[in-house]
Amino acid sequence: MKRVIIGTAGHIDHGKTTLVKALTGVDTDRLKEERQRGISIELGFAPLTFPNGQRAGIVDVPGHERFIRHMLAGASGMDMVILVIAADEGVMPQTREHVDIIELLGVNRGVVAITKKDMVEEDWLLLVEEEVTEYLRKTILKNAPVVPVSAVTGEGITDLLAILQEMAGEAEEKPAFGKARLPIDRVFTMTGFGTIVTGTLWSGVINIGDTLELLPTEKQVRVRGLQVHGEKMEAARAGQRVAVNLQGVDVEEVERGFVLATPGYLSPSYRLDTALRLLSSSPRTVKNWTRIRFHLGTDESLGRVILLDRDELLPGEEAYAQIVMEKPVVAYKNDRFVIRFYSPVTTIGGGKVIDAHPPKQKRFKEEVLAGLAVKEEGTLADIILQELEGHPEAVCTVQDLARAVGAEEEKLLTELAGLIESGEVERFQVEGRDYFLSGYGLQQIESRLQAILNDYHSRFPLRRGYPREELRSKHLKSFSPKVSAALLQLLEKRGAINTGVNHVALPGYQPSPDSRQQRVIDHLLLEFARQPFAPPGPKEISEKTGLTGEALNEILNFLLESGQLVKVAENAYFTAEAIEQGKKLLEGYFKNEKELTLATARDLFDSSRRYTLPLMEYYDRLRLTKRVGDVRVKFGQG
């Protein structure tokens, strides 16, 4: 059966709590002060079992204007509402404010219970019914059935139950799939159990043993126990009133307004981009930077409104606004919220969240307003593309996108498949995990890296390419090493770059000395050729070429990388031709001899010990020769 939450709404002393008791048998006024004063101060909760066996949870909210913030905490999770209007008073100020709140929160399913029927004459009751119907005609509850009842005599209660049962059967359930999210409306402790929180589970499933995240503190907690409608359960599903026994947190660390969620699903933010509507009945306008009270879920925060396309929002108007909070709030795309004026405290408007983690927005910018319009009204594919293109050089997982655009991962993957096929989105993998970025974003990265490489090749024409790690740390530092490696691989597959083990270059690039460098290289190679087995060292090279420091290293590295020189030891360089000539001399020697001393090798190469020793050690490393004691033999012999 469907899991449904029913909330009450209405003016103080119109009989909400008495009606709930008549429906459920439960007195939701649990506080001593509530019983003494005869009014509800805090939220009350009661299970309701319909005649057909279906169960629902009832949230009884306070009606006094001083406790509207508590009413808002209870109204945030309701699927349908019982609007309670006393027959002896009719529509009153908090009736109107509660209906405004219900409308702002999008609760469009409900029934009107005209209570205290036994206290008025029939003619008066008819007048009240007429007044109620006329008032509701311009509200979200214009089609709501109106049922006169008496909680004292029981008259009308059966009819009300039947209507509620029918509505509950038609209500749209909250999604039990996906991530868990529970706004906390009550926190207490019990001896032997520890910290307990309650709330309406907005989405997902919570199981005993689950690890959840407590937000906005981002503290990890464990589910020790669960109750639904006062009964112990192994699991709780979206749409149910839940009590959760938490392990890993003290009661002092939790408060109403916090959220329990699947780890990594939500994150706190100081800014929200919103579509903000001011009630037609609002007694005040909202000017830019107006301080307001912001209500989302069970949380109340102070914030300021930044109007993005005007200087003042008038009653009945709607506009895009960024709300800057004084403390972090936990929100998700399309969440509905209510705003109240800071002082005096009155409900003035509300709306829905468009972006739960926006950047600081500039006012009166067409591109900002157009972007918000896409996020609010565009297709899911449009919103995905805008999110990716809005952060062109950022790569996202499907989990990142789910948080950013407020959609289920399965729906995102379906839309992403189409965008990948059309070339508007690119996908690549790192250790089996999919990452996404827009085709535009990849083109931006490609163009930027090509410009960087082109500049590098111009400045260092003798180098094979940009050192790979240096390129990553300077120009791809926003990515992890593994993601940047995958991006470079993707760009190489597109033919945009060439990558080596240690360097990155433009396609087809080959190191090429300029005319001045070529003259130096030609002169230097002639010096090496004059005495192939007594080549000049770095100091001599510097003296002969006039080059020092980096300029000298550039030439030497180019000759080494191009294979024209071979480094056999520190500060000992030979030409490739000399190395090959030496090999042939040794091969000829070992055809007739079995052992070679260093002195004999020196004579063989017509050189000195300074050059012969590092050269013979190099041949040892090549496994051409092998040292045995004070002599060398041909490798593989002796």
- The pLDDT value given to residue 35: 41
4-170: CATH number: 3.40.50.300
Q: Which of 25, 62, 29 is nearest to 157 (CA)?
A: 25
Condensed to tens digits (0 to 9), the pLDDT of residues 133-161 reads: 999 999 999 999 999 999 999 999 999 99
- Residue 153: CA atoms inside 13 Å, Cβ hemisphere, count? 10
282: number of Cβ within 10 Å: 21
Residues near 609 by Cβ (< 8 Å), separated by ≥ 6? 598, 602
> Could you give the CA distance from residue 140 to residue 249 in angstroms, rounded to a whole number?
41
Same fold, 181-261 and 269-368: yes
Both structure tokens of 631: 């002599």
This prediction has a pTM of 0.77
pLDDT of residue 29: 55
Q: How far apart are CA 329 and CA 335, in angstroms?
A: 12
Top-level CATH class of 515-634?
mainly alpha
**Is it true that the peptide bond before 532 is cis, omega within 30 degrees of 0?**
no
Superfamily of domain 269-368: Translation factors (2.40.30.10)
CA distances in angstroms from 192 to 104, 133, 195, 245, listed in the order given? 41, 51, 10, 11
In single-letter form, the type of residue at position 217 comes to T
| Domain definitions of the chain by residue range | 4-170, 181-261, 269-368, 515-634
CA 499 to CA 258: how far, in whole Å? 49
pLDDT under 50: residue ranges of the chain:
30-42, 63-64, 67
Q: Which amino acid is at 146?
A: V
What pLDDT, on a 0 to 100 scale, did the predictor assign at position 38?
40
Q: How far is CA 318 from CA 60, 198, 307, 408, 514, in A?
A: 31, 34, 10, 28, 65
E-strand ranges in 253-363 read: 259-261, 269-278, 286-287, 290-296, 299-307, 312-313, 318-329, 336-341, 347-355
> In this structure, how many other beta carbons lie within 10 angstroms of the beta carbon of residue 212?
23
How far lies 621's CA from each of 370, 568, 578, 585, 626, in Å? 67, 10, 17, 17, 9
Q: For position 39, what pLDDT does the model report?
A: 33
DSSP string computed for 579-597: HHHHHHHHHHHHHH-S-EE
* Top-tier CATH class for 181-261: mainly beta
